[in-house]
Amino acid sequence: MSGARAVAHRSNGESFRGTTVAGPWRLGRASWEVAAPRSGPGSVRLVTAEIRPADRVDDELVDAFAVLIPQLSSSSPPPTADELQAIVDSPDTVLYLAWLDGRIVGSLTLAFYRMPTGLKAWIEDVVVDASARGHGVGESLNVAAISEAARRGAKNVNLTSRPSREAANRLYQRLGFVPYDTNMYRYSI
């Protein structure tokens, strides 16, 4: 972000900066706005994105995922309207959306599951459209998810990120995520 830090404001006026997100957040499912400078040849303008949970599925949401998912995965097709509706309707998931200039430019899925050792949260499928990267949108999506996980009493929040996603890995560490020494296995069905 060219030496500037993103500043996000909740709809009630509370704000955060990237260096404070590791604290105990007691925030609800509110909207967030992120403001960060966008630099171009000879000019700087303020970019404002709003972060909020999806509360309905419509053609705009389905179309947005048709654009976003190919930027995240070449092996997974975009979700259908029914699949998105199942995510939105589930009490164990929150689908966060980032809006910029009236369009969806990013998303993050926060999933909860209860284990004998406590409530856990998992961040999955974080994607920001290439046109909106580098302006704090991913950071704001993650802060909103961390806030909700803390509000619900999750013991921790986990995520995975490929080593090749260097900017994302720097972001996660800046937010307070630490590498977890474990083996991750996948069984394909």
Residue ranges of the alpha helices (H) in the chain?
59-72, 81-89, 137-152, 166-175
Residue 189 is assigned to a structural domain of this protein: no
Residue 18 predicted with pLDDT over 70: no
Predicted local confidence at residue 134, as pLDDT: 87
Chain segment 81-111, per-residue pLDDT in tens: 999 999 999 999 999 999 998 999 999 999 9
Q: How confident is the model at residue 173 (pLDDT cuts 50, 70, 90)?
A: very high
Coil/strand/helix, residue 103: strand
Residue 42 predicted with pLDDT over 60: no
Q: Which domain holds residue 120?
A: 7-175
Predicted local confidence at residue 45, as pLDDT: 46
CATH number at residue 40: 3.40.630.30
- pTM of the predicted protein model: 0.78
Considering its fold, how many domains does the chain have in total? 1
SS3 breakdown of the chain: % helix, strand, coil, rounded to 5?
A: 30, 35, 40
The mean pLDDT value for 151-173 works out to 94
Residue 181 is assigned to a structural domain of this protein: no
Residue 25 predicted with pLDDT over 90: no
Residue 119 is assigned to a structural domain of this protein: yes
